[in-house]
Structure 1
């Protein structure tokens, strides 16, 4: 592992920000620290950077324990959420800042800055000031400044949080491409599931100061290992009584049951569908256009199910009675999570 945290603990007064945190990051990987506000992800990033010191445990980079190494000597590039650009410096001067601190040759600095401007796609903007740039352009300058000194590790703290949705989507693709080209080990903090899934090679899920699960985006989404991870990932529709839905195994003393939109099939009463005999009747309580699909909320007894319906399918109205078939649900008991599949899927298709 290129980056390792071993049994890290960190408290601020009575608040425990890191509770025996341990994980590893392979060289060249782009890793997301994902969790809700207050889960400890930014504290972890700052301890790796050397901006915070752990109370106990070891921060290891490239086989070396870094606990007592100052931040400036760790060979790390850091991209802050608010860009942290110098307002009275041009794009070129901002990018050159770290190189000048290292007292490198002026000609080298000039060439390196030009290389970085081209890399991040800001040709012709070198003489502009931050106030003359868009949010996305400022973030590209921050990225260029961080990698200009050729760091061994790049850390990014909520790098897209201050950018509007459309530009944020474009920057995700751009960042993934840039880091892949550079081959630099990178760790970024986010609370956005979509961002973590789209950009990262690996996700580290944090909650209340400890690590809930580590894995690829697909592994964590498909096979959550803890109750928190199962609830945190995806769009959960909570089922107060999942026994009201047909053909599922019953878990004794279960705490919660929920499903995701992709596990739900909604059909109108006039439509013929597979497994209709295993469907449950529900009433549509809300219909919302989401751009690429229609989001439905359906009441089934005391439960609310969230489902998606294609734009080319016949419309469904609020108050309409529909058939609800659940392919799969998650059930939690303590910190254990069960993924239950509808038993009807194990038998030949039934049409009525």
Structure 2
């Protein structure tokens, strides 16, 4: 592993910010630290950068233990959420700043800055000041400045948080492509699961100072290892009497279950032709238009669940009786999550998203 944290503990007084944090990231990978506010993401990032010191445990970069190495000598590039650009410096001078601190020859500075300006799509903006740039452009300058000294590792603290939605989407794609072209090992903090799933090669899910799960976006989403991950990822409905649903049995020790919208198919009443014995009767409680689909809140027996409904199908109305097929769900006990398939749906050709 190129970046490793081994049994890291970090305390602030009586508050434990990191609890036995362990993970590794391979060289050239883009990893996301994903979790709710207060889960310990930024503390981990700051310890990697050397801005915070762990109470115990070891941090390795490129095989070297860096606990006692000063931040400036760790080979870390850091991109802050608020860009942290120098207001009275041009784009060129902002990018060149770190190289000038290192007393790099002027000719080499010019060559490196121009290379980064081309890489980040900032050509023609070299003489502009930060207040003459859009949010996306300022973030690209911050990214170029962090890359200028050729760091071993790039750290980004919620890099898209201050950018509007449309530009954020474009910048996500650009950042992923650029990091892969450069080949630099990178870690970014986010609380946006869609962002992590779309951008990252690997996701590190954090909760209350602990690492809950590490894996690829597909693996973490489809195979949650802990109750927290099952509930945190996706637009989940959490229910307790899941064995009242057709085709599902009670699992010993598993008191609750998670149903994600993609596990549900909603039909107009009487429209189910296959798996009739698995169909639940539901009532539409609420409808929310999401542009590409409808989010539907359903009441099935005494349970409230959430599903999605295609714009191409005949519209639903609040209060309408519908039929619902629930293909699968996750059940969980205090520490583990288990996938349960609907036993009344036997056809193996059913496609699960």
**TM exceeds 0.5?**
yes
What residue number does 2:202 align with?
202
SS in 2 for 1:172: helix
What residue number does 2:96 align with?
96
Count matched residues: 350
273-282 vs 98-107, which deviates more?
Answer: 273-282
Which residues in structure 2 correspond to 1:126-205 (within 5 Å)?
A: 126-205=126-205
SS in 1 for 2:67: coil
What residue number does 1:121 align with?
121
- TM norm structure 2: 0.96
Structure 1 runs (4+) greater than 6 angstroms displaced: none
SS in 2 for 1:343: coil
The separation in 2 between residues aligned to 1:113 and 1:248, in whole angstroms, is 61
Q: For the structure 1 residues 348 and 172, does the alpha-carbon distance in structure 2 shift closer, same or farther, using more than 3 Å as the test?
A: closer
The separation in 2 between residues aligned to 1:171 and 1:244, in whole angstroms, is 46
- 1:24-57 residue CA offsets vs partner (Å, 9 max, x unmatched): 1101111111111111111111111111111111
SS in 1 for 2:195: helix
RMSD: 1.4
The separation in 2 between residues aligned to 1:246 and 1:10, in whole angstroms, is 47
Q: Do 1:238 and 1:303's aligned partners in 2 also have CA atoms closer than 8 Å?
A: no
CA shift, 1:253, in A, is 4.2
Q: Do 1:267 and 1:273's aligned partners in 2 also have CA atoms closer than 8 Å?
A: no
Q: Do 1:282 and 1:324's aligned partners in 2 also have CA atoms closer than 8 Å?
A: yes
Q: Do 2:19 and 2:210's aligned partners in 1 also have CA atoms closer than 8 Å?
A: yes
Q: Do 1:284 and 1:296's aligned partners in 2 also have CA atoms closer than 8 Å?
A: yes
- TM norm structure 1: 0.97
Q: Do 1:79 and 1:157's aligned partners in 2 also have CA atoms closer than 8 Å?
A: yes
The separation in 1 between residues aligned to 2:2 and 2:230, in whole angstroms, is 29
SS in 2 for 1:145: helix
Q: Do 2:256 and 2:331's aligned partners in 1 also have CA atoms closer than 8 Å?
A: yes
- 1:175-219 residue CA offsets vs partner (Å, 9 max, x unmatched): 000001001100111111111111111111111111101111111
Q: Do 2:30 and 2:179's aligned partners in 1 also have CA atoms closer than 8 Å?
A: yes
What residue number does 2:272 align with?
272
- 1:118-159 residue CA offsets vs partner (Å, 9 max, x unmatched): 111011111111111111111000000000111111111111
- 1:51-107 residue CA offsets vs partner (Å, 9 max, x unmatched): 111111111111111011000001110001110111111111110100100000111
Structure 2: stretches of 5+ with no match in the other structure: none
Q: Do 2:240 and 2:255's aligned partners in 1 also have CA atoms closer than 8 Å?
A: no
The separation in 1 between residues aligned to 2:50 and 2:260, in whole angstroms, is 40
Q: Do 1:29 and 1:184's aligned partners in 2 also have CA atoms closer than 8 Å?
A: yes
What residue number does 1:109 align with?
109
Structure 1: stretches of 5+ with no match in the other structure: none
SS in 2 for 1:335: coil
What residue number does 1:43 align with?
43
The separation in 1 between residues aligned to 2:127 and 2:340, in whole angstroms, is 59
SS in 2 for 1:16: strand
- 1:224-278 residue CA offsets vs partner (Å, 9 max, x unmatched): 1100011011110122421221011212343321200100011011423321221
222-231 vs 339-348, which deviates more?
Answer: 339-348
